[in-house]
Structure 1
Amino acid sequence: MNANYTLRDEIRDYWSLRAPTFDQQVGHEIFSEAERQAWRDLFLRHLGPGEGRQALDLASGTGVISHLLHGLGFDVTGLDWSEPMLSQARAKAARNGADIRFILGDAERTLEKPESYDVLVTRHLVWTLVDPATAFREWHSLLKPGGRLLVVDGDFVSDTLVKRVIRFVEKLVPGLAGAAHAPNAMRETHERILSRVYFSKGARAQEVAALLGEAGFAHIVIDRDLKQIHRQQAKNLPLLKGLERATQHRYAVLAVKTST
């Protein structure tokens, strides 16, 4: 492999390959109005109504979270490092008539102007970060005084009893558990990336919160009450996969940049 081809490049290229089918998966796209409302409730609980405030959706992918924020009245910018993801996001925004700005950039080193956003939101990004300490300091710098960061993430790595049951059932009756298997090359790439990121053993809420504190954030709150979202997602998942989602260590973390 080219010595100049970094882990960040591999992560970008992996998600670029995932872009064409990204919106087909539960947990990426939203498949019911009930789930959409559950997401709105989470954002309103921690961020309040948009009222024209500037919001940055970090690692925005196809723009699912960007559209939720836009619907709540935020002036939204979506940032992603994958051109195929951005292409899908822009097309979706055009279809929906949504005035959302999508830009190419690395979520760990955005190159955006300091103190230019009121709100930052990430969904399922932190567990893939190469250098979260540096990323969190960067995100802190992007917020205006009093600005809020909301991280929605989870530990998708650690083994659990439910995961072991699913593997056992799948071994007995292949396909019964509803496990979706990625092509071998894609799965191997995912595992190779996962073994080298910072949270290779799983992104736990307390560790994320501690790193945010070290980056300068304050008033940090861990919210583990995501059951309404998971309940709606489970309706579009096989039984055992829905149970796995409900029992995983998933959470939202709110952190505030204090006024100076």
Structure 2
Amino acid sequence: MTVQQRIDAYWSGRAPTYDAFQQQREAEAGDREVWSRVWTGALPSTPCDVLDVGTGSGVVACLLASLGHRVTGIDHAEGMLATARANAAREDRPPRILEGDMVAPDFPDDSFDVVAGRYVMWTLRDPHAAIAAWCRVLRPGGLVAMVDSTWFPRGVVADGDAVQLGMREWYDDHVLAALPVAEASSIDATADLMRDAGLRDVAVVPLDELLSLDLVRGAAPGHVVRTQYLLTGRSPD
């Protein structure tokens, strides 16, 4: 199996429980409001063409569409795609959900104003190639906006969270070798990667309001509460 096939197999298997947790959080008072503020603060106020890479269960795509943006979500894991399409079908303003590779999105040049993603950077194979592809499909000066964290600073092999989630079966040494920030101990590694890949004006903002909420509600099963960050950068003009 290729690196991407192994990643897709893991996330297809995780889709039902992952979505159940996301839907539980969406239903809890405060969660959607906090995430709405995160994305409203990150994206332009006028409606934009947004590509949600690694859309997973489609939660971010649906939220961004509800905020008035024109959203296309792509994913490569069949289980996640089926879940995202079901979630999108229940929305008044549904995003478009397509099968697609977040490292090599198959869209014409200058198609989008924003490339967004949540919990994507850590599991992104060949991120330099991915960011170059994002810049290609972005209009000049377009925005990349990612939310992520340092999920496995002790390493996936030793991390009890990863063991509990059954990750090690799929995230083997071959896969991890292709994911340069999967085991990073600082979010600075992800920011540096974005700069090295050619994004300008890269900024990192800790999401303190989200952290406060997670400290009360707890983390997803198999995880501990960690600070999450909004990372943004601009494509070349």
Normalising by the smaller structure, the TM-score range is 0.7 to 0.9
**Runs (5+) with no aligned partner, structure 2:** none
Question: Partner of 2:168 in structure 1?
Answer: 188
1:231 maps to which residue? 212
Structure 1: runs of 5 or more not aligned: 168-178
Aligned to 2:201: 219
Whichever residue aligns with residue 229 of structure 2, its letter is: Y
CA deviation digits over 1:160-189, x for unaligned, max 9? 9xxx9xx7xxxxxxxxxxx89747xx3432
Q: Secondary structure at the match of 2:98?
A: strand
Paired position in structure 2 for 1:250: 228
Cα 1:106/1:204, change in 2 over 3 Å: farther
Determine the structure 2 residue equivalent to 1:153: 148
Q: Indicate which of 57, 60, 65 corresponds to 1:65.
A: 60
Tell me the amino acid that sits aligned with residue 234 of structure 2. V
- Give the TM-score normalised by the residue count of structure 1: 0.78
Describe how 1:52-91 pairs up with structure 2 within 5 A. Answer: 52-91=47-86
Q: Distance in 2 between matches of 1:188 and 1:207?
A: 22
Q: Which amino acid aligns with 1:37?
A: E
User: Could you tell me which amino acid in structure 2 is paired with residue 204 of structure 1?
Assistant: S
Aligned residues: 231
Equivalent AA in structure 1 for residue 49 of structure 2: Q
1:141 aligns with 2:136: yes
Q: Decide whether the 8 Å contact of 1:127 with 1:203 is kept in 2.
A: no
User: Are 2:1 and 1:23 aligned?
Assistant: no
- Give per-residue Cα distances to partners, 1:179-217, cap 9 Å, x unaligned: 89747xx34325526643222432732222222223221
RMSD: 2.8
Distance 1:187 1:216, change over 3 A: closer
Q: How many angstroms apart in 2 are the aligned matches of 1:119 and 1:39? A: 17
8 A Cα contact 1:126 1:203, kept in partner: no
Distance 1:103 1:28, change over 3 A: farther
1:48 aligns with 2:44: yes
* Structure of higher CA gyration radius: 1
Contact 2:154 2:185 in 1 (8 A): no
Amino acid at match of 1:232: L
Q: CA deviation at 1:8?
A: 1.0
**Is the contact between residue 50 and residue 69 of structure 2 (CA under 8 Å) also seen in structure 1?**
yes
Q: Percent identity?
A: 27
SS of 1:96's equivalent in the other structure is coil
Distance 2:131 2:71 in 1: 20
State the TM-score, normalized to the length of structure 2: 0.85
Contact 1:120 1:148 in 2 (8 A): yes
Measured at CA, do residues 156 and 95 of structure 1 come closer, stay the same or move farther in structure 2, by a change above 3 Å?
same
Residue equivalent to 1:100 = 95
1:26-37 correspondence to structure 2 within 5 Å: 30-37=26-33
